[in-house]
Chain A
Amino acid sequence: MTAPITPINVNDRLVLRAEDVWKSYDEGAITVLKGVSFEAAAGHTIALCGPSGCGKSTLLHLFGGLDEPDRGRVSVNGFEVNRKRDLLRLLRHEVGFVFQLHNLIPDLTLEENCLIPAVAAGTDRRDAQERLHQLAERTGLSHRLGHRIQKLSGGERQRTALCRALMNKPKILLADEPTGSLDEQTSAIVFELLLDLAATEGVTLLMATHDRSLAERCDRILEMHDGRIHEPKER
């Protein structure tokens, strides 16, 4: 089954923009991004596909402010990411991250892990709790809130990571192989949840994935090869 391509309409509000972005490592020995340019509108789901090492994760990191481009401009919801003073606001309110490995803090409970972004942003405790319970209910984790991370299954851990990423109601969700460490069945459940939450929360999803079948369910698919982006005209 192929999904129709959702083109960017002139009336759509652009939330992600990369302009001629270059990034290299090892003092220029390895160039990962070679003039990447693309735009994404609010509320769209975009799959970033391509072989390992083609620069998918690097691009996500640039949008999340975890890394800086050597050249070019990256902006998220109007903020230019390379500006360090906007970085905290970006991480606290504009973007949420979901990684292949859940990256949860093992000694904390599910609830405490999810509340970390709220603590960072100084959100009112009651509001944070309310938001947590809302997300936990949506992800089917309400009964596990007090459990430590070690006691959770892989799927539950990834759902927890999803809750945490959405805690501060970000506008953009950056997901780096979010189902890469899960079995097929769990992967399908988590991805379904990801799409569902992105739609209901009105979040723009930019997801790096190897899984073609998952990518096909996104509004757009961007192919990355040799540090450049190619968007197929039709699917």
Chain B
Amino acid sequence: MIFLKLILTNLQRHRIRTFISTAGIAFSVAAMLTVVTILQGAVGMFSGILSSDSQIIVFERNVSDLFFSNVPAAVAAEIERLPMVAHADPVLFGIVSSSDHPIITCFGVTAADARIRKATWVAGNRMDFALHPDDVVLGARAADFLGATLGSHVPIGHGVFHVIGILKTRNGFEDGGVFMPIDAAQSFFHKDGSSVVTIKLRNKDDAAAFKNMIAQKYPNLIGLEDAEFSRSYSQFKILKATAWAVGGCGLLLGGLGVANTMIMSVFTRIREIAILRVNGFSNAQIAGMIFGESALVSILGAFAGLALGTGALFALKLIPALDGYVDVSIRPVVMLVVILLALLTGVAGALYPALYAMRVRAVEALRFE
């Protein structure tokens, strides 16, 4: 109890310093949480596009980005005919631009694609999709920012397209995207195949056999189950690593703040440390006191940061332009990692101060007035 009071006393004694240090950790944690959650949400959304009513994705082996992948149309057709396949949907990804929007995701899909079949059509009729090559269907947000309505013509890239439908999906990429018939997309992007083929098997247990078959029959292609793809796709890895790196830098800054606070804390209580030492406190007890203090600051900061970060994510979600792109559902594992990292940062920040405190020579420290 007294040990805890010695920790709390010092934090109370320098309230402003404690507050600044806690705020430093809180802002770092909030930044990390926000960046990681947004990027993981984006990754989740992109995965969601691929896994829409499918279990396996087939794409070109060793491509760093799916936009560069090419699965020949003939191969997609062969896969579709396999007995174990319920349906195989070729999807062609492309990036187009309009006058005000430099990046619009374009999906070249067939009329049978789940994205067309299962989406909520705000306007138009799904039966009209892919009847004419210059017809497009817009996501609701894309229609909004392109100022398009049903029947209007919109300039996209080097062409002008006729809007035959507007659909609403919960996925930000799809909601802000343009859906073209795959033939039209192949012509538009000068490709003869698709970026991926998303597969739904008749029997889920055939997944391994299906992947082996793809590997043997089409050495240039690879088939991955959705979860495998999310784990191994290099772009996702880069995004996740970037998120943690950016967040980690923020936390490092917070840790430096804690280190500064703890150094000041030790310097201002040298006499007190000497008193404790004269009264039998061991190095471990002295260090425990310093680490306890920094751990408390870090935990307080981490929880404040979690609250702040969650608030920031909700605020971002309210911004119309980001609607669908920000996923506010914070994964428990992210929360746990963020709290642990904050704690670790705090403890690391207290390393030097604790070492300094352990080296305090009581006989000299007691001479301080």
Contact of A119 among B3, B12, B278 (CB under 8 A): B3
Q: With a CB–CB cut-off of 8 A, which chain B residues contact A119?
A: 2-3
Q: Check if A88 is an interface residue, CB within 8 A of chain B.
A: yes
Among B349-363, those with CB < 8 Å from A are 361-363
Given A66-B362, A119-B2, A119-B3, A107 and B280 contact (CB-CB distance below 8 Å): no
A21 at the B interface (CB under 8 A): no
| Contact surface of A with B, Cβ cutoff 8 Å | 61, 64, 66-67, 88, 91-92, 97, 99, 103-105, 107-108, 112, 115-117, 119-121, 164, 168
Considering the chains assembled together, what is the distance between the CA atoms of A121 and B2 in angstroms? 13
Main secondary structure of the interface of B (DSSP, over half): helix
In the complex, which residues 237-282 of chain B have their Cβ closer than 8 Å to any Cβ of chain A?
A: 271-272, 275-282
* Least distance between B171 CB and chain A CB atoms (Å): 57
- With both beta carbons as reference points, the residue of chain B lying nearest to A117 in the complex is identified as B279
Contacts of B337 in A (CB 8 A): none
User: Which interface residue of B2, B13, B272 has the most chain A CB atoms within 10 A?
Assistant: B2
Question: Chain A's nearest CB lies how many Å from the CB of B323?
Answer: 52
State A66–B278 Cα separation when bound (angstroms). Answer: 7
Partner of B363 from A66, A104, A105, A121 at Cβ < 8 Å = A66
Q: Does B366 contact A (CB under 8 A)?
A: yes
| Contact between chains at A116 and B279 (CB < 8 Å) | yes
* Given A105-B275, A112-B2, A120:B366 Cβ within 8 A: no
CB of B212 closer than 8 Å to a CB of A: no
Q: Is the CB–CB distance between A116 and B363 below 8 Å?
A: no
Q: Using Cβ atoms and an 8 Å threshold, which residues of chain B touch A108?
A: 2, 5-6, 9
A97: chain B residues within 8 A (beta carbon): 278-279
Cβ contacts under 8 Å, B362 to chain A: 66
17 contacts between A and B (CB under 8 A): A66-B278, A66-B361, A66-B363, A66-B366, A88-B280, A91-B277, A91-B278, A97-B279, A104-B275, A107-B12, A108-B9, A112-B5, A116-B2, A116-B275, A116-B281, A117-B280, A121-B280
Whether a CB of chain A sits under 8 angstroms from the CB of B285 is: yes
B183-209 Cβ-contact flags toward A at 8 Å (1 or 0): 000000000000000000000000000
> Is the beta-carbon distance between A103 and B275 smaller than 8 angstroms?
yes
In Å, the complex CA distance between A119 and B272 comes to 15
Min Cβ gap A165→B in Å is: 9
- Report yes or no: B5 in contact with A120, Cβ–Cβ below 8 A: no
**Interface contact A61-B363, CB-CB below 8 Å:** yes
Residue contact B278 to A103, C-beta cutoff 8 Å: yes
Report the minimum CB–CB distance from B266 to chain A (whole Å).
15
Q: Given the complex of chains A and B, what is the CA–CA distance between A64 and B12 in angstroms?
A: 32
Contacts A66-B362, A103-B275, A103-B366 aside, 19 further interface pairs with beta carbons under 8 A come to A64-B278, A66-B361, A66-B363, A67-B363, A91-B278, A91-B279, A97-B279, A105-B9, A105-B272, A107-B13, A108-B6, A108-B9, A112-B5, A115-B2, A120-B279, A120-B280, A120-B281, A120-B282, A164-B279
Alpha-carbon distance between A115 and B6 when the two chains are bound, in angstroms? 12
Question: In the assembly, what is the distance between CA of A112 and CA of B366, in Å?
Answer: 20
Q: In the complex, what residues of B have CB within 8 A of residue A164's CB?
A: 279
Please name all residues of chain A whose beta carbon is closer than 8 Å to the beta carbon of B3 when the two chains form the complex.
119
Report the separation of the CA atoms of residues A76 and B172 in the bound assembly, to the nearest whole angstrom: 77
Q: A66-B362, A107-B9 are in contact. Are A116 and B276 (CB under 8 A)?
A: yes
- Out of B2, B12, B366, name the residue touching A99 (CB < 8 Å): B366
Residues of chain B within 8 A of A105, CB atoms compared: 6, 9, 272, 275
CB distance from A119 to the nearest CB of B (A): 5
Q: How many angstroms between the C-alpha atoms of A115 and B86 in the bound complex? A: 76
The reply to whether B272 and A91 contact each other, CB–CB distance below 8 Å, is no
